[in-house]
Amino acid sequence: MLMAKGTYKDLLSMQADGPLFGQLMLRDLLLPDLLGQETANIAYWAGRDLARKLPVTEEDLTKLFAQVGFGTLTPTTAKKQERHYLLTGTVVETRIANFDHPDFRLEAGFLAQSLQQILGIVVEANPSVDAHKRQVDLTVALDPKSEQPVSPTSLQL
């Protein structure tokens, strides 16, 4: 069973209120208990599924990340077969500070599928939590040789 780093009293005094508090409780306490060892895999594929339902342009991807409450997504480096993004912001900092093992595979799956639909190639992503800096590095692997369908429509943000 996963636990929060603090006590119940500490959780109630977290700098997260309203929908954010509920999201944190579901993501980092309830779902890991329900899904057990499969939490990470299910979260990744749930993120990919969610991205299929919310197709966006590459320009709007960072805005959508903020709107759905994932945090602030910033592209950092881009090469032919690999990209890096930094995930920061209040929600990311709060999750890292208050939970022992916050999982960011939902965000990784969402990013991978979004880019796959935009670029038309196979894309996978992997999160790496930097607890000291309270941020997440998302490493994205691109396979330009494996074509995939491009999303025909995108949400207007």
Contacts by 12-19, CB closer than 8 A, 24 or more apart: 14/94, 14/98, 15/90, 15/94, 16/90, 16/91, 16/94, 19/69
Check whether 139 has a pLDDT greater than 90: yes
What band does 147 get if pLDDT is binned at 50, 70 and 90? confident
pLDDT category at 41 given cuts 50, 70, 90 is very high
Whole-prediction pTM: 0.84
Domains and CATH numbers, the chain: 8-147 (3.30.1380.20)
Cβ atoms within 10 Å, residue 101: 14
CA of 25: how far to CAs of 28, 84, 86, 104, 127, in Å?
6, 28, 23, 14, 20
- Burial label for 80, CB within 10 Å (0-12, 13-18, 19+), is exposed
